[in-house]
Amino acid sequence: MTRLIMTVIGPHWLRTYGIALGMALLLTFTAANGTGSVPLLIRFPYWLILMVFGTLIAQVTGRMLDRFASLNLWQTIAAMIAITTPLICVMVWLVTAAFNSDHALDPARLVRLVEPVLVITVAMAALHVLVNGTPAQSHAFAPDVQTEPGAVFRERLPFKFRHAEIHALEAEDHYLRVHTSAGDTLILMRLYDAIRELDGIEGSQTHRSWWVAKAAVTDTVRTSGRISFTLKGGFNAPVSRGFAKALKTDGWI
């Protein structure tokens, strides 16, 4: 669970939690849900806590579904709504009681939260699918560029691997396993940061933990509804359902 939570702080965290902050500000200044009588300095922290923790619940749930479930787009949204709605209801119930002593932990209040929370969870589920359905990509240089492809990233590799063909990157906790024609090596780096340094090599994120060079793909494998790429060297890289549509549009699948 700790690892799943840590992966939330990934390439899209600024956008996702920036939206949560924006929603908190909107709900604060519109005095949503009858909070107009609550002082501004209390109202903003209240909505900020609800939005941030609600987003965290949605993100962790989405990561769990991506990792452990084989679902299509609409099944993913439905599962997220079914799982996150009761969790967020309980969270709102507890936070509201903490901010306002008049709101005792009455089960009847918990039931009344279901409808308004359901509206929010639908939006959060859609946000998760939107944010996580666009793979990060690297692009080939124009023909007149003389720099070695991925030159900035290559400087981070041990000398043995610097001029090898880069096949794939695989995130392992805080490390990155770099698969090359000379073997593989581990470096301390985030996947998203590495992808930004790989321009010159046409490639795409295929999974939240994988980036693949297009030239390294030798075959596409479909097994029990799941897709993976067979790469040079004989190993497979998974393709998550969230990225499959974009990869198909780009001609990978």
Name the residue with higher pLDDT: 125 or 175. 175
Prediction pTM value: 0.56
Residue 73 confidence (pLDDT)? 63
Q: Is residue 157 predicted with pLDDT exceeding 80?
A: yes
Q: pLDDT digits over 72-106, tens only?
A: 667 777 888 899 999 999 999 999 888 876 666 77
**Mean pLDDT throughout 175-201?**
93
DSSP codes joined into one string, 128-155: HHHHHTS--EE-PPPTT--SPTTHHHHT
Instruction: Classify burial at 111, counting beta carbons within 10 Å of its beta carbon; exposed 0-12, middle 13-18, buried 19 or more.
Output: exposed
Q: How confident is the model at residue 3 (pLDDT cuts 50, 70, 90)?
A: very low
Q: pLDDT digits over 42-73, tens only?
A: 999 999 999 899 888 887 887 777 666 656 66
Instruction: Classify burial at 233, counting beta carbons within 10 Å of its beta carbon; exposed 0-12, middle 13-18, buried 19 or more.
Output: middle
Q: pLDDT digits over 217-234, tens only?
A: 999 999 887 899 999 999
Q: How high does pLDDT run on average in the chain? A: 84
Residue 1 confidence (pLDDT)? 44
